[in-house]
């Protein structure tokens, strides 16, 4: 499932940050959905609409958006189509290549404000789990799963390195079909979040933010202050680092930290922290974890103190720390 931005508006890795200032305007986008063409293999138009609606419903439950289909002659914010190998401008595009027939690339999407999702019409789309059909000799591909992944791109999310994420580049192979907490965090960072039920204040007074966290995260994130919580636990470093290096860098610069390779080779395990919060996953456009080193894109969100701790069982072998500030 390939994805890439239009190079006209931002650097690839900083795309979503460039659009943070457009939050109010973007609240009006991606509500009207237009289906320009339907698949020819197996699945009919009725089931196609049903599958796409289920995929959009997954995102409407965790974002400020609601989606509805409009007729083809009505202007829309998001356009969906099933296309053959050579379609639209794929021959000229450096980002979205032409489709390759069955299997391979299943679909691709464009970041806002383009608002298009293209599906490969040579695939055998179904409602249900992706599986191989011995009778037909082809792979049957879950439309809901792929559509939900591509909608995430159309809303502004890049691929995730978290193997449990719907937005993982190989999500169809891993079988992950639910929107993970880090993807919810990403959508909330882009567009804000809102409570979906009028009962939220009452539930919060009853202590549901602590006792029924799953329910409240889904329906009452704003009331419980879950909107911008990182999807990993807060675990402060065991010991403060002996010294902290301060780096003042220009916005947009890629900054890499390295955490004592010689020590790591002694079978130590590396733990990374930002402002005393444990980092467990990479976040495209935010940070990239690679065991003994970590990279970030310098921006307002990424300012702060980064620490690595190398431990062998409970014994700390070494610590390093860096403070990142933007050059104004």
| CATH architecture assignment, domain 245-326 | Sandwich (2.60)
Q: Is position 87 annotated in a ligand binding site?
A: yes
Q: Is position 121 annotated in a ligand binding site?
A: yes
How confident is the model over 143-195, as pLDDT tens digits? 999 999 999 988 888 888 777 789 888 877 767 778 887 788 788 777 777 77
pLDDT for the residue 144:
94
Write down the catalytic residue from 116, 150, 183, 280: 150
Q: Is position 275 annotated in a ligand binding site?
A: no
Domain 2-189: give its CATH superfamily: Collagenase (Catalytic Domain) (3.40.390.10)
pLDDT for the residue 94:
56
Q: Is position 73 annotated in a ligand binding site?
A: no
Compute CA 23 distance to the chain's CA centroid, rounded to the nearest angstrom.
Answer: 17
Q: Is position 8 annotated in a ligand binding site?
A: no
pLDDT for the residue 17:
39
How confident is the model over 38-63, as pLDDT tens digits? 998 889 999 999 999 999 999 988 88
How confident is the model over 191-232, as pLDDT tens digits? 777 777 778 888 888 888 888 888 887 778 888 877 755 444
Q: Is position 100 annotated in a ligand binding site?
A: yes
Torsion of CA 10, 187, 34, 150, to 10 degrees: 80
What is the distance between the terminal CA atoms of the chain, rounded to a whole angstrom?
Answer: 38
Q: Which is higher by pLDDT, 47 or 315?
A: 47
How confident is the model over 76-103, as pLDDT tens digits? 888 998 988 776 666 666 556 777 777 7
Interval 69-80 mean pLDDT:
87
How confident is the model over 124-150, as pLDDT tens digits? 999 988 888 887 788 899 999 999 999
Residue 314, CA distances (Å) to 123, 235, 263, 269, 307 in order: 51, 14, 15, 10, 17
Question: Active-site residue 23, yes or no?
Answer: no
The share of the chain scoring above pLDDT 90, in percent, equals 12
pLDDT for the residue 54:
94
Q: Which is higher by pLDDT, 6 or 137?
A: 137
Residue whose C-alpha is closest to residue 150's, from 167, 129, 131, 170: 167
Helix, strand, coil percentages, rounded to 5, for the chain? 25, 25, 50
Residue 8 has pLDDT above 60, yes or no: no
Q: What are phi and psi of 186, to 5 degrees?
A: -65, -45
Residue 6 has pLDDT above 50, yes or no: no
pLDDT mean across residues, the chain: 76
How confident is the model over 230-272, as pLDDT tens digits? 444 334 444 445 578 888 998 888 999 888 766 555 677 888 8
245-326 has the same fold as 2-189:
no
Q: Is position 159 annotated in a ligand binding site?
A: yes
Residue 22 has pLDDT above 50, yes or no: no
For residue 62, what are the contacts with CB-CB under 8 A and spacing of at least 6?
Answer: 179, 183, 184, 187, 193, 218
Domain range list for the chain: 2-189, 194-219, 245-326
């Amino acid at each position: 499932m390939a994805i890439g931005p239009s190079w006209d508006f931002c650097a690839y890795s900083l795309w979503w940050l460039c659009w943070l200032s457009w939050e109010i305007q973007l609240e009006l986008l991606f509500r009207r959905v237009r289906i320009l063409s339907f698949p020819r293999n197996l699945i009919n138009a009725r089931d196609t609409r049903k599958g796409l609606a289920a995929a959009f419903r997954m995102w409407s439950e965790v974002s400020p958006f609601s989606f509805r289909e409009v007729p083809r002659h009505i202007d829309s914010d998001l356009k969906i189509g099933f296309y053959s190998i050579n379609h639209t401008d794929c021959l000229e595009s450096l980002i979205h290549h032409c489709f390759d027939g069955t299997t391979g690339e299943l679909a691709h999407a464009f970041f806002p404000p383009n608002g298009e999702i293209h599906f490969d019409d040579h695939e055998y789309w179904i409602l249900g789990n992706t599986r191989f059909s011995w009778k037909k000799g082809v792979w049957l591909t879950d439309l809901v799963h792929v559509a939900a992944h591509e909608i995430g791109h159309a809303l502004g999310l890049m691929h995730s390195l978290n193997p449990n994420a719907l937005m993982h580049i190989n999500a169809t192979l891993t079988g992950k079909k639910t929107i993970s907490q880090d993807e919810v965090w990403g959508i909330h960072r882009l567009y804000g979040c809102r409570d979906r039920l009028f009962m939220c204040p009452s539930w919060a007074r009853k202590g549901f933010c602590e006792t029924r966290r799953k329910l409240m995260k889904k329906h009452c994130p704003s009331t419980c202050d879950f909107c911008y919580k990182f999807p990993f636990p807060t675990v402060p470093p065991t010991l403060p680092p002996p010294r902290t290096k301060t780096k003042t860098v220009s916005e947009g610069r890629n900054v890499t930290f390295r955490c004592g390779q010689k020590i790591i080779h002694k079978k130590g395990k590396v733990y990374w922290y930002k402002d005393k919060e444990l980092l467990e996953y990479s976040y495209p456009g935010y940070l990239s974890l690679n065991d003994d080193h970590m990279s970030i894109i310098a921006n307002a969100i990424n300012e702060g103190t980064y620490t690595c701790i190398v431990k062998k069982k409970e014994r700390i072998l070494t610590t390093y720390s860096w403070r990142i500030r933007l050059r104004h």
